[in-house]
Structure 1
Amino acid sequence: MKGNVIRAGTRLLETLEHAGYTAYFVGGYVRDFFLNRPVNDLDVATSAAPEEVMKLFERVVPTGLAHGTVTVLMDGIPIEVTTYRTETGYADYRRPDQVKFVTSIEEDLARRDFTINAMAMDVRGKLVDPYNGKCDLRRRQIRAVGEANERFAEDALRMFRALRFASQLSFEIEAATMAAIADNASLISHIAVERIRAEWHKLIMGTEPESTIILLAGTGLAAHIPGLSRLLHTTEWIDPSEGKRTVTLREWSDLHVRWAVLLLLSGTGNESTNIMRALRCENKLIKKCKQLIHLVMNFAENTEPVSQSTKSPAASMTVPEEKALCILLTHAYEEVVAAASVYDRLIGAGGRSSPCGLEPFFRQRYETMAVKNISSLAVSGADLQRATGRSPGMWISRVLLQLALDVNTDCVANTADALLARARMMVNEYT
């Protein structure tokens, strides 16, 4: 895919140049090219006006004509093409009040956020770098283009983007840029929560989320952001200088698991729904996070050392047999393992990588299960209704779960006759 994207972008630049215009790759592609990072998409800046770009290519979507942007579908790959422009007036601290098209790539680069994003490269590899972004890449630092206070007054989201890049790239934020973030922190309240959430998710999924979260709280930005103001009211729980942190978010690759770890570490696990809703997270993400936290707390209530007499931190931890089976039968296996790993690292004695922890316990128990989910039983809910003559109801799920437990504890065979006989007995006992 990387080669296809670059080939499509190269053809696009060549087409613009052959038509008499100048054109460059800009932004993230140029930055990531020098960092040898994967290429996901391309942005192009050109001297051609939007209408001229639309005449040159067959498939063009006018995605932002007012700001000079169209999306060209080149070989089926979408590439954003924007006319060189300058911007003035940012009454809402986000969008320019006036856009003026210009003919110089240098003028266009002057409006960009950080030096590492203010580079341009033509089709022959010639670099235009008026703010020494390549040097900042070598220094591994985030530095605002020109005067940082002006850049953040233009677009307050840039402050959060600086922190996001620091987490993703393992870069430091240059001192003057960092000071400007602290000075302008209150401006973030003008930005839509949804846009902040998108940056927050990229930040916590980065390679250095913990240190960046500490920076985020220290700048004062979090105090002006719904949800994060509560989650990050203190960061002692994640600050290694306080001797509190024993885990890193990098141990988990899923967004909802990293969210759950942060909520549990901060002591706000019971507030997960309110915090995540305040940040306008999707309901599906909120539900997955809440379920994982619930499982972790369930483990905390039901887990015990194999040997009750030992106080050794390396003692093997386990969950009572029937409880463990119920958990595995009523939850997705991947979620149980994720919750167990979180429990091991945050609460349990064994440790995530230890053979004594809950994660290996559940992995081993799952492998030995004759019936790994209720749908694998030889009978269904409809079979139970026909065999008992009863109407549909909650009793069906309860009986099916008990049948699955019985099969896994060798109390009954997983055959239709045996299961229906056992089900009739249970129904008679209940009634």
Structure 2
Amino acid sequence: MAFESLSERLNSVFKKLRGKGKLGEADIKAAMREVRMALLEADVNYKVAKDFCAQVSERAMGQEVMESLTPAQQVVKIVNEELTRLMGGDDPRTLHIRNKGQTVLMMCGLQGNGKTTHAAKLGKYYKAQGRRPLLVACDIYRPAAIDQLRIVGEQAGVPVFEMGTEKPERIAAKAIAYARDHGNDIVILDTAGRLQIDDDLMGELVRIKEAVEVDETLLVVDAMAGQEAVNVARTFNEKVGISGVILTKTDGDTRGGAALSVLAVTGKPIYFQGTGEKLDALEPFYPARMANRILGMGDVLSLIEKAQAVQDDREAEETARRMMSNKFDLNDMLAQFAQIKKMGGAASLLAMLPGGNQITADQMDQIDSKALPHIEAIIYSMTPEERAHPSIINSKRKRRIAAGCGQSVEDVNKLLRQFEAMQKMMKKAKRNPKGFMRSMSSMKGFR
């Protein structure tokens, strides 16, 4: 999970502050020293980390904190607000997409950072919004680059324009003309990369921008590159002129320095973040939501959006109706696990819940790689009657189910206990909806 080590360090700092009650100037200074070290270890730019801590210190030593009944909470609030500001503010930045004519997006970056894949991801993203994107193969050097774009384009359901090894600027110009003739309103140029920055690469990108009117120049950078990603962004911005960044591999165990530094260093926002290898694993970058996740406050809005994306309203209403009428059975439970998989897995969802950052990476891996497949195997070993009416599962049936899925009887018992607990929760919700919601909202983070 992105920012894992930074989240742990910051929560450790805040835990110490909460134990002090009233805070003095020395407490704030000591805490900010630890925060600065945590940011530097997360590969945040030194000047960015220094300026960030200075700004937080100045606000934390003000009247709003020193005279507060809960000064530690006020400090956390200030850190949250400053992290949000550092990454771009409360509202996400959005690409300028024309209402009429063609919008041209040029992808650029070093080789291996995922330009081609993320070109297809963007195509799929905008196609889902009713647009008609066109992918353009301007990488004429890398072996099989055109084939790769053709493959991911087909997977995304987006057409690909290519002219073999013609000059990239000529390909781009022809692609714009083709888009006008065929009604494609977003043109995504997949350009060549290099293992390192060189004049030939920069010159080619400049020539493309001279040949066609590029609306957005998007730099694709690897979040796991940390501070080096920021250096790359600075150089591309100076040589070519970028309008924003797509940050890839934010689902990995990365230190996160790029996300916290890129705007401050380059003045260019992060528009999107890649959260996985699949073509639908692309999300708009929300600074406020990311700040919440870093501080262990969760990202419930993104969780809701993921749920809405994989489940239609009718299906959701039917599931809710069955739950509230006590008809929720193991078939429904199995269907919910399928939805969890579509949403990125249990680990991905838990990371968005308040306190989810306190679950270790090993525990996350166990949830997705062991727990869910085992539960599914147990349910699939049951007969349709047993799934619909779990109460009929006696000792003999449990032994048969366990033998059929390669699990123990205790594993079967554990699943049935979990299911019974869910049923009790549904009954409680039906009897006293307001009380149920109060009890749910008062739940603390995972421990």
Whether TM exceeds 0.5 here: the answer is no
Larger radius of gyration: 1
Higher fraction of helix: 2
- Determine which structure has greater relative contact order: mean sequence separation of CA pairs < 8 Å that are 6+ residues apart, divided by chain length: 2
TM-score for the superposition, normalised by structure 1: 0.32
